[in-house]
């Protein structure tokens, strides 16, 4: 049996012609002798698409009953039983109706593929899971039907059905996509020219990345290591030095010379962690890479040129940008051509750009001072061992001297030199080697008691002493360096983990960073200042301060000993974290400043919804009554006339109450709706609520604790919300079972619960309760105007609370209104009755 294949027609938006292209391909395959069936196709009443269905066998769809609606779904079992060569399955991201074999249609397609049936399918770019949030940002519409990226990436063939944005809008305007009543709304919303252009670019880029991945896979499968210049890829080598910004900008310009150029920045870290790099500079350069639209990579390698070129080849790079060496001419003369020359030799067909910069040639020759990795104490011990051990060894060897003991004497002094090197490093070992050579010549080589070099072999012996001492001390020095680096890395990791842990555990981020900085660097005090004010401080601010800039927004003042060069590397990382924490704090402050505007907008939207609904109804009643009264063709009795006048009077009265209430609630100032949040006593709020609803005692059960703390709310908005919820509960409560209004405090919030004993609402339908004016018997004008649960939820959310629905134990619906507690000792607002 031939392997089944999945072929997907990808589109940037509905209407580009995906289904049309799939059906055309089905006809082509059928004409070639393949057994093709239509498993499911959604024509969306498009005549051109429907005209392609005749001539192709269609598997009957399966009818699924859901919430009283019959839904047509693909009959997976019937298609599997039919077992064609190719099945046409439209809308790959479709969600199947409950009760289907699989939740998603792409899972049905997988079942067909597993059965050996090839599939042609369609999908739009907005349904790809990884692009879902990007599409929502572009269109403002959240897509709930998505497919995993792996499904589409696993397709044997993906074809883009492309149409220019203006061409799609023309097709839409001609009525080829949607019915006439939906065209204007579509053109002014989802199908705006900017939206379609962005979606098309997104589809093209996604497909280009897929082609790129396929190319890399092909090269890997066929063992092709040579570079293929499918598009320009520029790799910029970063050392963490000051030249990084210059290299990145030059690399960006090189990449921009060709369409689709890509920028990759890479830093090679050494395996032992001993290679120096400025962490703060790398953090800033990484941010610059992201601003320039590139990607940052960090790799580990003992050999920088080899690691860099290997990375470039793996990325299929065409250009490699490196900086000219910062070494001085003297240092370059002493140490050889350097890394740049080796990169050029290894690069092969990758073009290498060596870019000059301001820091070029500024490094000076700096020789290591002795055994810098060893402590002064160990070097002193080495000298002491040479000074004390040399004479003691000489006394021992003189006492045991024979005519043929010279070889043993030489080895004994050599052993002393090795021991001194192990203890003290290079300088003590060099001292011990010279001292041993002179002592050996003076005491054991004829003529005795004279320092002479009668034969060249004696000079060679002395030089061998020195060489052995230096070699052993070099090994000791490297081991000490690695040990110290490992200990320091562990300490630095512990420090950074401690800082991060303090922030994660909920400590104030800036204060935690400042405190741990003072502790880690053994400072007497540390202070963070921004804009002339102190943000965080710890310890005693004594003596002169060392000022470290934190980005361009703050400065960190350190009181105490100046950090060493090694400490400054860690300090750079801490400063970068402080800068990030400051930026986050600024964003949070900005969000808090915008929150009142968001709350105001939420309430304004609810008010506009109320106006759109409740103005329409009384106006319609009044208009109908007046029209009936004025119609000359209608003969009315006195009773009819009185009833029409009474209806018009009630409708106009309702309209007057509605407008009055909306004006009282809105408190519009300068054209902006404001939410006035004050402490409100819930118990004092109930009399105005009962008065507005004209309720007698016993018509609503009240259970409000006397010690219930005040809540933070807008008294008028809260009253309107509770009135609306209680009116709704009264409407659905059976006779003899009044609704119950209770309140209780939980932590820092108060819950107000309005429970009825009515029929309740199924869980799956509760979300619809809060859609604009979703209520039974909405045409009944006798139940009061009501602003609807959607308006009530808007009021409550505008006050920083929530309104949710849940079951009443024993049957019914409970509305749970949650609001935050007021601040202690704040004056309590006394609610006033809203005109009814």
Summarised one tens digit per residue, pLDDT across range 707-755 is 888 999 888 888 888 988 898 888 888 888 899 898 888 778 888 989 8
Looking at residue 19, what is its pLDDT? Answer: 93
**At 268, is the pLDDT very low, low, confident or very high (cuts 50, 70, 90)?**
confident
Residue 10 near residue 207 (C-beta atoms within 8 A): yes
3-state secondary structure of 314: helix
Looking at residue 667, what is its pLDDT? Answer: 44
**At 506, is the pLDDT very low, low, confident or very high (cuts 50, 70, 90)?**
very low
Average pLDDT over residues 245-262: 82
Average pLDDT over residues 428-439: 81
| Number of CB atoms found within 10 A of residue 307's CB | 19
3-state secondary structure of 530: strand
Residue 416, pLDDT > 80, answer yes
d(CA 450, CA 287): 70
**At 615, is the pLDDT very low, low, confident or very high (cuts 50, 70, 90)?**
low
Residue 336, pLDDT > 70, answer no
For helices 165-173 and 180-188, the axis angle rounded to 10 degrees is 150
d(CA 179, CA 167): 18
Give 327's DSSP letter. B
Strands 36-40 and 57-58: parallel
Looking at residue 646, what is its pLDDT? Answer: 81
Looking at residue 92, what is its pLDDT? Answer: 93
- What are the tokens at 289? 């890479």
Looking at residue 91, what is its pLDDT? Answer: 92
**At 423, is the pLDDT very low, low, confident or very high (cuts 50, 70, 90)?**
confident
3-state secondary structure of 194: helix
Note the pLDDT tens digit of each residue in 563-582: 766 677 677 778 887 888 88
**At 236, is the pLDDT very low, low, confident or very high (cuts 50, 70, 90)?**
very high
Residues of the chain above pLDDT 90, percent: 12
Note the pLDDT tens digit of each residue in 369-404: 333 556 677 788 888 988 998 889 889 988 888 877
- What are the tokens at 659? 């407008």
What is the side-by-side strand order in the sheet with 157-161? 57-58, 36-40, 86-89, 118-124, 6-11, 157-161
Torsion (CA) 56, 59, 65, 66 in degrees, nearest 10: -60
**At 538, is the pLDDT very low, low, confident or very high (cuts 50, 70, 90)?**
confident
Note the pLDDT tens digit of each residue in 622-671: 777 777 777 776 677 778 778 878 877 877 777 776 665 565 445 433 33
Looking at residue 229, what is its pLDDT? Answer: 55
**pTM exceeding 0.75:** no
**At 329, is the pLDDT very low, low, confident or very high (cuts 50, 70, 90)?**
low
> Which residue in 723, 658, 657 sits closest to 685, CA to CA?
723
| Number of CB atoms found within 10 A of residue 373's CB | 19
**At 534, is the pLDDT very low, low, confident or very high (cuts 50, 70, 90)?**
confident
Give the chain's end-to-end CA distance (angstroms, integer): 78
d(CA 119, CA 86): 6
Looking at residue 498, what is its pLDDT? Answer: 56
Average pLDDT, the chain: 78
3-state secondary structure of 645: helix
Average pLDDT over residues 802-821: 87
d(CA 211, CA 230): 10
Radius of gyration of the chain (CA): 41
Average pLDDT over residues 280-298: 84
């Amino acid at each position: 049996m031939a392997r089944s294949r999945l072929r997907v027609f990808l589109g940037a938006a509905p209407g580009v012609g995906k289904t049309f292209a799939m059906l055309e391909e089905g006809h082509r395959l059928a004409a070639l002798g393949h057994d093709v069936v239509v498993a499911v196709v959604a024509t969306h009443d498009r005549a051109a698409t429907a005209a392609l269905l005749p001539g192709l066998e269609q598997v009957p769809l399966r009818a699924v009953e859901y919430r009283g609606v019959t839904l047509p779904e693909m009959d997976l079992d019937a298609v599997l039983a039919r077992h064609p060569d190719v099945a046409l399955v439209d809308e790959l991201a479709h969600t199947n109706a409950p009760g289907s074999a699989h939740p998603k249609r792409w899972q049905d397609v997988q079942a067909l593929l597993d059965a050996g049936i090839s599939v042609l399918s369609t999908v739009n770019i907005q349904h790809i899971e990884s692009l879902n949030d990007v599409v929502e940002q572009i269109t403002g519409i959240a897509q709930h039907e998505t497919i995993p990226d792996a499904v589409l990436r696993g397709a044997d063939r993906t074809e883009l059905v492309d149409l220019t944005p203006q061409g799609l809008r023309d097709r839409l305007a001609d009525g080829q996509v949607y019915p006439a009543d939906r065209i204007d709304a579509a053109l002014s919303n989802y199908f705006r020219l900017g939206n379609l252009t962005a979606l098309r670019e997104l589809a093209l880029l996604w497909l280009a990345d897929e082609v790129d991945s396929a190319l890399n896979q092909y090269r890997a499968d066929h063992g092709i290591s040579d570079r293929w210049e499918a598009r320009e890829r520029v790799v910029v080598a970063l050392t963490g030095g000051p030249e990084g910004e210059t290299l990145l900008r030059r690399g960006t310009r090189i990449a921009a010379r060709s369409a689709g150029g890509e920028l990759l920045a890479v830093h090679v870290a050494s395996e032992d962690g001993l290679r120096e790099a400025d962490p703060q500079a790398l953090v800033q350069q990484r941010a610059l890479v992201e601003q320039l639209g590139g990607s940052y990579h960090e790799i580990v390698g003992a050999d920088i040129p080899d690691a860099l070129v290997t990375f470039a080849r793996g990325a299929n790079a065409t250009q490699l940008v490196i900086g000219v060496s910062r070494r001085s001419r003297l240092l370059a003369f002493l140490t050889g051509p350097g890394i740049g020359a080796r990169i050029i030799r290894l690069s092969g067909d990758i073009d290498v750009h060596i870019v000059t910069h301001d820091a070029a040639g500024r490094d000076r020759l700096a020789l290591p001072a002795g055994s810098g990795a060893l402590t002064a104490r160990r070097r002193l011990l080495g000298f002491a061992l040479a000074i004390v051990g040399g004479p003691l060894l000489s006394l021992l060897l003189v006492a045991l001297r024979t005519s043929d003991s010279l070889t043993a004497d030489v080895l004994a002094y050599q052993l002393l030199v090795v021991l001194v090197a192990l203890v003290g490093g290079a300088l003590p070992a060099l001292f011990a080697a010279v001292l041993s050579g002179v002592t050996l010549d003076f005491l054991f080589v004829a003529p005795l008691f004279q320092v002479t070099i009668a034969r060249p072999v004696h000079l060679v012996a002395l030089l061998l002493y020195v060489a052995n001492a230096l070699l052993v001390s070099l090994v000791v020095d490297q081991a000490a360096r690695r040990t110290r680096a490992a200990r320091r890395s562990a300490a630095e990791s512990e420090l950074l983990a401690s800082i991060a842990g303090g922030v994660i555990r909920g400590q104030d981020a800036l204060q935690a960073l400042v405190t741990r900085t003072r502790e880690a660097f053994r400072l007497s005090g540390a202070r963070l200042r921004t804009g002339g004010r102190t943000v965080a401080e710890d310890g005693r601010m004594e003596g002169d301060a060392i000022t470290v800039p934190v980005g361009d927004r703050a400065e960190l003042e350190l009181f105490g000993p100046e950090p060493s060069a090694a400490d400054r590397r860690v300090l750079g990382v801490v400063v970068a974290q402080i800068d990030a924490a400051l930026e986050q704090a600024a964003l949070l402050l900005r969000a808090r400043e915008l929150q009142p505007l968001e709350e105001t907008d939420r309430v304004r939207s609810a008010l506009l919804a109320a106006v759109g609904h409740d103005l329409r109804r009384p106006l319609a009643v009044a208009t109908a009554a007046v029209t009936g009264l004025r119609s000359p063709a209608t003969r009315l009795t006195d009773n009819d006339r009185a009833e029409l006048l009474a209806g018009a009077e009630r409708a106009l009265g309702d309209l007057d109450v509605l407008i009055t209430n909306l004006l009282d609630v809105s408190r519009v100032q300068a054209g902006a709706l404001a939410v006035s949040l004050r402490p409100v006593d819930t118990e004092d709020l109930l009399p105005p609520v009962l008065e507005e609803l004209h309720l007698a005692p016993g018509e609503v059960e009240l259970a409000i604790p006397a010690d219930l703390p005040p809540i933070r709310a807008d008294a008028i908005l809260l009253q309107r919300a509770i009135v609306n919820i209680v009116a709704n509960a009264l409407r659905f409560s059976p006779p003899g079972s009044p609704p119950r209004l209770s309140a209780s405090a939980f932590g820092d919030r108060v819950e107000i619960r309005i429970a009825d004993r009515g029929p309740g609402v199924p869980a799956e339908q509760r979300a619809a309760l809060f859609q604009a004016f979703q209520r039974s018997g909405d045409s009944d004008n006798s139940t009061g105007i009501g602003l609807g649960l959607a308006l009530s939820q808007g009021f409550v959310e505008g006050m920083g609370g929530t309104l949710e629905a849940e079951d009443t134990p024993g049957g019914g619906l409970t509305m749970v209104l949650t609001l935050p507690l007021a601040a202690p000792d704040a004056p309590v607002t006394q609610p006033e009755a809203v005109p009814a």
